[in-house]
Amino acid sequence: MIECPQEIPCDPCQANCPAGAIDLEDINGTPTVDFEKCTGCSVCVESCPGLAIFTVDCSSEKGCTVTIPYEFDLPEVGEEVIGLNRKGEEISRVTVTSLKTKGDSAFDTPTVTVQVQEEHVNELRNIRRSK
Amino acid sequence: MRINDHPILSFPETETITFSYQGREINAKRGETIAAALHNAGITELRNSGDRERGRGLFCAIGKCSSCLMKVDGVPNVRTCITMVQEGMEVEKQTGFPEIPSKSTKLKSEIIEKKSPEVLVIGGGPAGLRASLTAASAGASVLVIDENPLLGGQMIKQTHKFFGSSDQEAGERGKDIGDRLSREVSDHPEIEVMTSTSAVGIFEEKVGIYKNREKFLKVDPEKTIVATGATEDMIKFPNNDMPGVYGAGGVQTLMNVYGVKPGDRVLMVGAGNVGLIITYQLLQANVEVAAIAEIASEIGGYFVHAAKIRRHGIPIITDHRVSRVEGTEKVERAVIEEVGDSGEVIQGTEKKFDVDVVALAAGLSPSYKLLNHGGCELEFQPALGGHVPKRDKRMRTTREEIYVAGDASGIEEATSAMLEGAIAGADAALSIGKGGPGEEDIIRDAREKLEKLRAGSYYDNLRSGLQEVEKPSRTKEQ
């Protein structure tokens, strides 16, 4: 999900997408995703300088996950964290299923993937460690 | 208050040194400024106002304002934000208007040297570094000076990734771009670097520069490129001079360059890109942000930067101005009030925040004073941030031998500053008979990229401002 509605000069999401699934008219355009081509690899989540891209994946039988860029103190895999919406309000407790550290990321941006109830996949955009 | 764990930055351990403040021994890290070391020790009042009535603290942290002037080893008016702390230094709070020191002090003003590079670049930020590299690659000998102790300008504190085109630096963190350019410049055989060195005046033929605490130099360049950047704007409200009121960029320097927290809880003023980005970086440094207050009805910065802090629950309160700051000796509270459509304050809308830091991200103004001193024609252009020099498309000012690049020519961002630097550097080299068709290509390519960067609707005002100050080139090859 690309949440980048403003015409700003920027193109790394489109330039780095291995599936060619992101369309950008020109560098000042707003990006759109061709979900037929998108493989959910999350390269765009890591490469977006504005941290404005999130992967929502409901393809598994085990349920849905949301992958977010996360440049804060990283949780651990299996840890229960607090899921937050776009306003930073608590939605529900969610579990971290995988993560990429800054070092793991080819684009220098850590990401966290959490298991999310289907009704929250379009809401959850941040997490907070419960300490 | 050092930052120990940071998700993006690491602050390596360095040797601990000691210096004295008002006769008291203070520990510091080698490689930090006097002001950063004092902040870490909890000392934020650095001087008094001229009438000795009011305390003053750090504001810009990059040597542009006079808020941090202190007496160092008997010499007054030392900008402690850009002067590295040294073992055994004697630092005193500056009170009132200081006396000119006698010759017995350590002020070395009598040493004067000369230098004659082909191109002098004033300012080692994105514009100045790119200008230096471009001119030197064309074969010109270059001297680049910067009054800060480190090269890289404001990029060295920019932990966020840049927007822009992937075939340039987009997606790379500002800090990494700055480090890379600084290394290239330092390694280049045709470039001499002088940090902690200020330009004090551009005269008819020579430029005066001062190597901090060492010597004066007379520089006699063929071409001068002014890439002095910008200054953070102050806004008016009672107690705006109280220690704890900082420029947002000053806060960013303190935490991202020197790893020192500015305080515990911050009110950010201004929701342009600077205010939004630095709020996010405060959160990364584990500093609490109470809110962002914005006087306009809309958020001025990019949607994506606002979204990054909203999802951390930081409120952005539009239509609000800072009414005053309260505290006995330093900031303890900030008060904001709602303003109506015509700018009038709406009574009964006061909101108080218990904060020890108020960070002002209320805009930037081009640092034009050297250009003014040098006799370059200026124009006041609000869309570009204030007074800027008239110039042609090759960044030549109305004085043939003086170029401008970067924020000093109008407030934009680092990507456009680097492109302007390339243009100025290439043209400066060409105009003294260095380089050739390759430099013409660099200029053409950079101009095309600038046009693309500025094409979006977000930049409508900027484009019309630029049209006003860009004059047709005076030479035939255009």
Q: Could you confirm whether domain A1-53 is CATH 3.30.70.20?
A: yes
B239-to-A40, A90, B337 alpha-carbon distances in Å: 53, 37, 16
Average pLDDT (A89-105) is 95
Residues of chain A in contact with residue B310, where contact means CB-CB under 8 angstroms, are: 86-88
- Categorize the per-residue pLDDT at B108 as very low, low, confident or very high, splitting at 50, 70 and 90: low
Are B227 and B373 contained in the same domain? yes
- Categorize the per-residue pLDDT at B103 as very low, low, confident or very high, splitting at 50, 70 and 90: low
The residue range of the domain holding B408 is 112-231+365-469
Domain boundary among B92, B122, B154: B92
Say if B476 falls within a structural domain: no
Residues of chain B in contact with residue A106, where contact means CB-CB under 8 angstroms, are: none
- Distance, in Å, from the CA atom of A69 to the CA atom of A53, rounded to the nearest integer, reads 8
Domain boundary among B337, B363, B389: B363
- Give me the pLDDT at residue B107, please: 57
pLDDT digits (tens, 9 = 90+) for B167-179: 777 889 999 999 9
Are B290 and B326 contained in the same domain? yes
User: What type of residue sits at position B284?
Assistant: Q
Are B325 and B182 contained in the same domain? no
Closest CA to B423 of B444, B452, B407, B398: B444
User: Which tokens hold the place of B94?
Assistant: 């500056």
Interface-testing mutation among B5, B166, B168, with chain A (most A C-beta atoms within 10 A): B166
Angle, vertex CA B410, rays to CA B62 and CA B459, nearest 5 = 120
How many structural domains compose chain B?
Answer: 3
Residues of chain B in contact with residue A2, where contact means CB-CB under 8 angstroms, are: none
Mapped to the 3 state alphabet, what secondary structure does B380-416 carry?
EEHHHCEEEECECCCCEECCCCEEECHHHHCCCCHHH
- Give me the pLDDT at residue B99, please: 83
Are B129 and B168 contained in the same domain? yes
| Mean pLDDT of chain B, nearest integer | 94
Residue B316, pLDDT above cutoff 70:
yes
Contact B307 A84 (CB under 8 A): no
- Give me the pLDDT at residue B51, please: 81
Say if B6 falls within a structural domain: no
Residue A71, pLDDT above cutoff 50:
yes
Are B428 and B441 contained in the same domain? yes
Closest CA to B131 of B229, B260, B46: B229
Contact B283 A4 (CB under 8 A): no
Interface-testing mutation among A27, A82, A114, with chain B (most B C-beta atoms within 10 A): A27
Nearest by CB to A10, from B163, B308, B454: name it. Answer: B163
Residue A72, pLDDT above cutoff 70:
yes
pLDDT digits (tens, 9 = 90+) for B431-474: 999 999 999 999 999 999 999 889 888 889 999 999 999 976 55
B23-to-B19, B35, B243, B417 alpha-carbon distances in Å: 9, 16, 21, 44
Domain assignments of chain A as residue spans, ordered by start: 1-53, 55-131
Which residues of A fall below an 8 Å CB-CB distance to B?
Answer: 3-12, 15-16, 26-28, 47, 49-52, 71-74, 84-89, 102, 107-110, 125-126
| Mean pLDDT of chain A, nearest integer | 95
Interface-testing mutation among A44, A45, A71, with chain B (most B C-beta atoms within 10 A): A71
pLDDT digits (tens, 9 = 90+) for A22-67: 999 888 889 999 999 999 999 999 999 999 999 999 999 999 999 9
Average pLDDT (A102-131) is 94
Average pLDDT (B27-33) is 96
User: Which tokens hold the place of B167?
Assistant: 């075939």
Are B269 and B314 contained in the same domain? yes
Are B138 and B179 contained in the same domain? yes
Residues of chain A in contact with residue B272, where contact means CB-CB under 8 angstroms, are: none
Are B217 and B254 contained in the same domain? no
- Give me the pLDDT at residue B477, please: 44
CATH of the domain at B31: 3.10.20.440
Cβ contact B40:B1 at 8 Å: yes
pLDDT above 90 coverage of chain B, percent: 86
Average pLDDT (A70-86) is 97
Contact A49 B170 (CB under 8 A): yes
Average pLDDT (B266-288) is 97
- Distance, in Å, from the CA atom of A70 to the CA atom of A73, rounded to the nearest integer, reads 8
- Give me the pLDDT at residue B361, please: 98
Domain boundary among B343, B363, B383: B363
pLDDT above 70 coverage of chain B, percent: 97
Give B469's DSSP letter: H
- Give me the pLDDT at residue B104, please: 57
Residues of chain B in contact with residue A50, where contact means CB-CB under 8 angstroms, are: 163, 302, 304-305, 308
Are B213 and B116 contained in the same domain? yes
- Categorize the per-residue pLDDT at A8 as very low, low, confident or very high, splitting at 50, 70 and 90: confident
Are B223 and B251 contained in the same domain? no
Are B121 and B210 contained in the same domain? yes
Closest CA to B69 of B88, B89, B96: B96
ipTM over 0.85: yes
- Distance, in Å, from the CA atom of B420 to the CA atom of B392, rounded to the nearest integer, reads 12
- Categorize the per-residue pLDDT at B106 as very low, low, confident or very high, splitting at 50, 70 and 90: low
Residues of chain A in contact with residue B283, where contact means CB-CB under 8 angstroms, are: 72
Say if B107 falls within a structural domain: no
- Give me the pLDDT at residue B473, please: 58
- Give me the pLDDT at residue B186, please: 98
Say if B240 falls within a structural domain: no
- Categorize the per-residue pLDDT at B346 as very low, low, confident or very high, splitting at 50, 70 and 90: very high
User: Which tokens hold the place of B272?
Assistant: 């342009």
Contact B458 A6 (CB under 8 A): yes
B264-to-B57, B60, B319 alpha-carbon distances in Å: 16, 19, 26
Are B372 and B356 contained in the same domain? no
- Give me the pLDDT at residue A26, please: 85
Say if B30 falls within a structural domain: yes
Say if B100 falls within a structural domain: no
- Categorize the per-residue pLDDT at B476 as very low, low, confident or very high, splitting at 50, 70 and 90: very low
- Evaluated on CA atoms B123, B125, B131, B135, the torsion sign reads positive
Residues of chain A in contact with residue B171, where contact means CB-CB under 8 angstroms, are: 12, 16, 47, 49, 107
CATH of the domain at B215: 3.50.50.60
